[in-house]
Structure 1
Amino acid sequence: MHWNWQQEDWPHFAYNASALRSAEDAFLKGGGIIVGILHHVDVEARQALAIELISQEAVDSSAIEGELLDRASVQSSLARQLGLSADRRKANAAEAGAAELMADLYRSYQAPLSDKLLFDWHAMLMNGRRDLADVGRYRTHADPMQIVSGPLQAPRVHFEAPPSDRVAAEMERFIEWFNATASDAARPLPAITRAGVAHLWFETIHPFEDGNGRLGRAIAEKALAQSLKAPTLTALAETIHRHRKDYYAALHRASQDNRIDDWLAWFADIVTAAQARTTARVRFLIEKTRMLDRLRDQLNPRQEKALLRMFAEGVDGFAGGLSAQNYRTITDAAPATATRDLAGLVEMGALVRSGELRYARYHLALSN
Structure 2
Amino acid sequence: MNVDLFDFDLPNERIALRPAAPRDTARMLVVDGAGLHDRVVSDLPDQLRAGDLLVFNDTRVIPAQLEGMRGQARIGATLHKREGPRRWRAFVRNAKRLRDGDAIDFGHGVAATANARGEDGSWALDFHGDEPVELLLERAGQMPLPPYIAGKRATDARDQDDYQTMFAREAGAVAAPTAALHFTPDLLAALAAAGVEHATLTLHVGAGTFLPVKAEDTDDHRMHAEWGRIDAATADRLNAVRARGGRVIAVGTTSLRLIESAAHEDGTIQAFEGDTSIFITPGYRFRGIDGLMTNFHLPRSTLFMLVSALMGLERMQTAYAHAIANDYRFYSYGDASLLLP
TM (norm. structure 2) is 0.24
TM (norm. structure 1) is 0.23
> Which protein has the bigger helix share?
1
> Which protein has the bigger strand share?
2
Structure index of larger Rg:
1
